[in-house]
Structure 1
Amino acid sequence: MGFRAVKRKNPKHVHEYTDRHGKARYYLRRPGLPKVALSGLPWSPEFMTAYESAMAGEVRRPPIGASRTLPGTVNAAIVSYYQSGAFGSLAASTRQSRRAILERFREKCGPLQLKAMPTAALQRIMDGFSPLAARNWKKALRGFVDHCIANQFLQRDPLAGVKLAKTKKSSGFHTWTVDEVAQYRAHHASGTKARLAMELLLQTGHARVDVVRMGRQHTKSGKLSMRRQKTGVQFDIPLLPELVSELDLQPKSDQLAFLTNAKGEPFTPAGFGNWFRSRCDQAGLPQCSAHGLRKAAAVYHALHGATAPELMAWFGWKTIGEAQRYIEEANRIKLAESAGAKLISRTAVGSPADPVSQNQTQAIEKAKAR
């Protein structure tokens, strides 16, 4: 008769369960405290080190992806980049979008040695995307590669030789017209949440990520004061009469935010974008969006004589180029209207009866001179 192996009891507060892959998992679970995952097998040196640290309250959350990193790999370098000040200083929305790209990059190249990353491989990756997507990938990888070079993980820049296909010029989101604003207002009456949302976007001219944060805590003495989430630039703008009238019609609430969802909570930027998209569809404006109102506001300010520095102060822009773009758009509109007015008033080139008669006369005179 042989001896039967007896399983040793797990250390105190250690709970075991089997995951869907049939693998045993171990956690430290103490009353009133979050559970802590423990590596290794119970009573092994690796396990006991983790267990003792957890019992002493020394457990720290491991870096994202640390469980799959090996020194010198793309995985390890990306984890290092996530922990860097350069990545942390990016706006939250920018970090989110770039992390999404870098995580997809890890799926393709994570286990590979970083120093062996050739330009040709990056070029093949870029060639697999649309021109716009490829530009976004190159932006995300640029920050990562710069971090690697600064920390001497790389001795050369593998992105330097990557070429991108030219993108077709686009004006981006559709800019709302005066008639479209009037159509939206006719469908969504004053006092409704849909109307308030449109007036907030149009009268402040700010992005949805900032509009969903706007609330009573940001208003004082007839001004709205806050910082743009994306750039951190402060803006202090007067509350325009149309917006004040709409805010006065809203029911009183304990919620600070001006706009709330069906649960009475502030919208997320993405949630608000989808909700407002539906309000535009209801008004018969499928081509219109929240960002298009920001563009409309900028053009409207420029049409009424706002200078580039004034636009920068109102919209929280860092560079004058952003403001200049809308001034040029406003000037184009003004010049076209001026040209049309001259034709209507018959002060354009040519005689009042025939706008091109002057050119015809000149041609006849030249023919006679010959």
Structure 2
Amino acid sequence: MILRLRYIQRVRDRRGKTRLYFRRPGHRSKRLPDESDPGFLAAYNEALAAAKPEILRPREPPRTLAGLIDFWMRSARYTALAETTRATYRRILLDIQKQDYANAFVTDFQPVYVRRILARHIATPAAANNRLKILRVLFDHAVSEGWRPDNPASAVKRHKEKAEGAVTWSEEQIARYEARWPQGSVQRLALALLVYTGQRRSDVVRMSGADRRGDLLEVRQQKTGARLLIPIHPHLAQELDAAPASGTFLQTPGGKAYTANGFYMRFRDWRAAAELPEGLSPHGLRKAAARRLAEAGCTTHQIAAITGHATLAEVERYTRAVDQEKLARSAIERIKL
């Protein structure tokens, strides 16, 4: 007689013999004796009463640094990053996975090991600091997932960077560029958008007439996701009036929108045509915009409301520089005869 009991599965082996298993969804399986065995019902009842749910854990990679990188790149935090930020992180992360220390277990890392990793980039402090930033994020993820109790990168100090990033355009350089490119040209429009909105090139190339809100320009920053409403400066308004009526403000000769990198390369040619030195970039005009606001007496919060900086540390560099100049001039005035 064949019994009809729940969770019983019959499996025929290669010799043709039927074997019985107690298999309940979410529980561990158990081999049962044959139905003709006097102990079958007792074994079945025992399995039915004692079955405990099997703890199902998501599959995760080996707990090495390389495995942690794969794990984090599948996380919600990584996928929530802006596309350009993900591309930058991915490039560095894939390079880290090629290194000899990538196969070390996450639990083996100590602050001294993190410092040794950064020491490999001592000639390029900015690159070292980028890796430190990413390692901090990775080990934070390791802590939150229970891979280790602490973050070994949090106690490691950043390398001192000699340079301050992109060179800030001076007023003389801005004036020389404007003298080369007349009002109504795409070159002049590019400068106006950069210096009168204080935005990154990745945001400037996406701006269009659809973003105008009366005397305001709405910006959704690609890097941070921040939404900004920026008053349109009269000089910018003049250039926007001459901009294309449809599509983005900045367009290629073929009428297409620029990519961020494509715009950078074209802007480099425009800068060279104005006989301005190498090193002056679109980002330098973003810094010039912050400098102008600081020189006008704007507070750090007011400047950040335009530039969209997530923290005030960067903005404070501009206000400190302006305050230093004002104090220095005031000090000299006091000792003039």
CA distance in 2, matches of 1:331, 1:161: 32
- Normalised by the length of structure 1, the TM-score is 0.67
How far has the Cα of 1:316 moved from its partner?
1.6
Aligned residues of 2:200 and 2:283 also touching (Cα < 8 A): yes
Structure 2 counterpart of 1:361: none
Structure 1, unaligned runs of 5 or more: 1-65, 343-347, 352-370
Question: What is the 5 A alignment of 1:105-120?
Answer: 105-109=96-100, 112=103, 114-115=105-106, 117-119=108-110
Structure 1 counterpart of 2:141: 147
CA distance in 1, matches of 2:313, 2:120: 32
Structure 2 counterpart of 1:94: 85
Helix, strand or coil at the partner of 2:103: coil
1:80 aligns with 2:71: yes
- Normalised by the length of structure 2, the TM-score is 0.73
Instruction: Note the alpha carbon deviations across 1:317-366, whole angstroms, 9 max, x for none.
Output: 333333332222222333445567x4xxxxx4254xxxxxxxxxxxxxxx
Alpha carbons of structure 1 residues 282 and 258: separation in structure 2 relative to 1, 3 Å = same
How far has the Cα of 1:249 moved from its partner?
2.3
CA distance in 1, matches of 2:157, 2:314: 26
Q: Which residue among 242, 250, 267 is the counterpart of 1:249?
A: 242
CA distance in 2, matches of 1:293, 1:238: 18
How far has the Cα of 1:118 moved from its partner?
3.7
CA distance in 1, matches of 2:217, 2:314: 22
Aligned residues of 2:96 and 2:102 also touching (Cα < 8 A): no
Structure 1 counterpart of 2:318: 326
Q: Which residue among 212, 234, 249 is the counterpart of 1:258?
A: 249
How far has the Cα of 1:167 moved from its partner?
2.0
Helix, strand or coil at the partner of 2:335: coil
1:182 aligns with 2:175: yes
| Equivalent residues, number | 275
Helix, strand or coil at the partner of 2:228: strand
Q: Indicate the percent of aligned positions where both proteins have the same amino acid.
A: 34
Alpha carbons of structure 1 residues 109 and 153: separation in structure 2 relative to 1, 3 Å = farther
1:210 aligns with 2:169: no
Question: What is the 5 A alignment of 1:191-230?
Answer: 191-230=184-223
Structure 2 counterpart of 1:308: 300
**How large is the Cα RMSD of the aligned pairs?**
2.7
Helix, strand or coil at the partner of 1:281: helix
Alpha carbons of structure 1 residues 74 and 283: separation in structure 2 relative to 1, 3 Å = same
Question: What is the 5 A alignment of 1:1-370?
Answer: 71-109=62-100, 112=103, 114-115=105-106, 117-119=108-110, 122-129=114-121, 130-159=124-153, 166-250=159-243, 252-255=244-247, 257-286=248-277, 287-338=279-330, 342=333, 348-349=334-335, 351=337
Instruction: Note the alpha carbon deviations across 1:28-60, whole angstroms, 9 max, x for none.
Output: xxxxxxxxxxxxxxxxxxxxxxxxxxxxxxxxx
How far has the Cα of 1:137 moved from its partner?
0.7
Aligned residues of 1:224 and 1:237 also touching (Cα < 8 A): yes
How far has the Cα of 1:115 moved from its partner?
4.0
Helix, strand or coil at the partner of 2:219: strand
Aligned residues of 2:211 and 2:217 also touching (Cα < 8 A): yes
Instruction: Note the alpha carbon deviations across 1:271-294, whole angstroms, 9 max, x for none.
Output: 212221221111111242111111
Instruction: Note the alpha carbon deviations across 1:73-93, whole angstroms, 9 max, x for none.
Output: 444332221111222233332
Structure 2, unaligned runs of 5 or more: 1-58
Alpha carbons of structure 1 residues 86 and 338: separation in structure 2 relative to 1, 3 Å = same
CA distance in 2, matches of 1:77, 1:350: 64
Aligned residues of 2:300 and 2:312 also touching (Cα < 8 A): yes
